[in-house]
Amino acid sequence: MVRKASKSFMARQLKAPLYDALWAHAKRNVVSFHCPGHKNGRSIDKELKNYTGEEIYKFDVTVFDEVDSLHDPVGPIKKAQELMAQAYGVKYSFFLVNGTSVGNMAMFLAACNPGDSIIISRSSHKSIMAGIIMSGVWPIWIQPKIDQNLDLIFNSTYDQIKDALDRYPETKAVFVTSPTYNGVVTELSKIVGLCHRRGKIVLVDEAHGAHLVFNKCLPESAVTAGADLCVQSTHKVLSAMSQGSVLHFNSNLIDCNRVKKIVSMLQTTSPNYLILASLDLARRQAVLYGEKKFNKVIEAAEEGRLYINKNINSMKCFTRQEMQKLGVDLDVTKLTVNVTKTGLSGYEIESILAKEYNIQLDYADLFNLVAIMGEGSTKSDVEIFINALEDINKKYHGKQKNWILKIPSLATEMVMRPREVFLSGDTKKLGLKKAVGHIAAQTLTPYPPGIPVVIPGERITKEICDYLIDMSSKDIRISGQETEMLKTVKVFTN
């Protein structure tokens, strides 16, 4: 671990109370008159059971004393959450079974009341729109910076947040995403320091950063930087099962009981205990082996990056040094490969990798491939990836693409809160050109760059309409459009 761990710390962290409770329960072979209906795996589909074995389903239980309740934990779940909080050095950790998506929604509801304003980057994950609508806040948008040489979108910087705080001193909270999908980590300590000096709450979407505290060569985590609330997808980089995330509370500005109530309101009353146990074990594994395992992952990623930059002339990976020169940091375990010079798009190469090389990426866009490495990644995975890229570099030659990563000015006027528009039935569809000056009643997000250019409650400008018409004519996918071609936009009828 990054922090020097005491003997008593390590002795406690060796435990996995929730896993142990489930294991003890499975061994009892109880006669089940509780949900779920498969009764300890007995009636699970044969084909699936042949593949997985039957034992695992004995862990798929419901709430009773022996295994505890996620909503009112007093036993093994309470202890497992305490160990999680201890591992990350925070006051309280909440286990989540609907990923960081539900954690993002919870952060909005916990930190803000209807009518509060919150500073937030336009390049945030789509779950934040749900948080904005549910909580009834006024979003103050920060336009993301784009680096045209790297074809890369950045998250909010310290300067941008300071500027927004100066202009909107009434803001209640600041919402930051760090690391981004590409592993770019913003200046969190500086941002947290600034916000706290001004009495503002800091919420961090650290979906891609649950591993950061476990290796000293990785950038600083939001929990170490002092964020009030921070949510991590333990399943993305560490070894929890999909949907397993954690919301960390470390605030003097938010009431922890309010967070507890909200997390409980948003989660199912039938959580999957396998997911919960995997959070308990992922924490133990990361504490015990994170430093070593991530040393290897970092080494493999850095070797891969170096090899690509030296030997594959049509591809390029930006480096940690390059990012640091720009004032941000990089989690090097996310290997972004720029492919614009291959003449193929990132989407095309992603598909070639899947079909011809049996390699599945997490993400690609027009310009880049993003290979996400995790605790289970190996050097040989990276070698297979590099060999495939080298092969593609030789096989496919095309003209360099001249796409420009651009977004129109998003310094638009928020006229209504997104929640009001969402709840209102007073909407109509207008032709794109006629929509100028109207209040948007939907979200429209062209891919790339994946940044919403129309948000409910915002006044639609001519620049945005022209941009959408241009994107649509180029067959760019626009998420949120309700017809084959984007010809109309939903607006509020005022």
Ligand X SMILES: Cc1ncc(COP(=O)(O)O)c(C=O)c1O
Nearer to ligand X, 80 or 247 (CB): 247
Rounded to the nearest whole angstrom, what is the least distance from the CB of residue 170 to ligand X in the complex?
27
The identity of residue 446, as a single letter, is P
Any contact of residue 233 with ligand X (CB under 6 A)? Answer: yes
* C-alpha span between 329 and 179 (Å, rounded): 9
In DSSP terms, which residues pair with 93 in a beta bridge?
A: 248
CA distance 230 to 247: 6
Q: CA nearest 411: which of 139, 131, 136?
A: 139
Nearer to ligand X, 177 or 251 (CB): 177
181 lines the binding site for ligand X (CB under 6 A): yes
Q: How crowded is the C-beta side of 254, counted as CA atoms within 13 Å? A: 31
Question: Please, which residue, 40 or 239, has the CB nearer to ligand X?
Answer: 239
- Four-residue CA torsion sign, 412, 179, 261, 442: positive
The residue among 213 and 486 lying less far from ligand X, judged by its C-beta, is: 213
Quick check: 375 binds ligand X (CB under 6 A)?
no
Contact 407, 449 (CB under 8 A): yes
Rounded-to-integer distance, Cα 478 and Cα 179, Å? 25
Which residue in 93, 127, 182, 443 binds ligand X (CB under 6 A)? Answer: 127
Does residue number 245 form part of the binding site for ligand X (CB under 6 A)? yes
How do 173-177 and 117-121 pair as beta strands?
parallel
Q: Which helix (H) or strand (E) holds 9?
A: helix 7-13
Contact criterion met (CB below 8 Å) for 178 and 121: no
| From 94-102, 105-113, 379-387, 467-475, span contacting ligand X (CB under 6 A) | 94-102
CB of 139 to ligand X, least distance (A): 16
Residue 121 sits in the site that holds ligand X (CB under 6 A) = no
Closest CA relative to residue 202, chosen from 125, 118, 271, 311 = 118
State in angstroms the smallest separation of the CB of 266 from ligand X.
Answer: 12
From 41, 73, 76, 99, residue interacting with ligand X (rule: CB under 6 A): 99
**Residue nearest ligand X, Cβ-based:** 99
User: Interacting stretch for ligand X, rule CB under 6 A, among 42-50, 95-103, 109-117, 399-407?
Assistant: 95-103
The least CB distance from residue 184 to ligand X, in Å, is 11
Q: How far is the CB of 101 from ligand X (least distance, A)?
A: 3
Q: Which of residues 84, 112, 207, 312 is near ligand X by CB under 6 A?
A: 207
Residue 314 in tokens? 């049509």
Least separation in angstroms between residue 125's CB and ligand X is 3
- Site for ligand X contains 177 (CB under 6 A): yes
Size of the site for ligand X (CB under 6 A): 11
For the residues of 208-277, what is the DSSP string, one character each? T-TTGGG-TTSPPPHHHHT-SEEEE-HHHHSSPPTT-EEEEE--SSS-HHHHHHHHHHHS-SS--HHHHH
- 123 touching ligand X, by CB under 6 A: no
Q: Which stretch binds ligand X (CB under 6 A): 93-101, 246-254, 368-376, 434-442?
A: 93-101
Q: Which of 422, 420, 444, 421 is nearest to 432 (CA)?
A: 444
Q: Which residues bind ligand X (CB under 6 A)?
A: 99-101, 125, 127, 177, 181, 205, 207, 233, 245
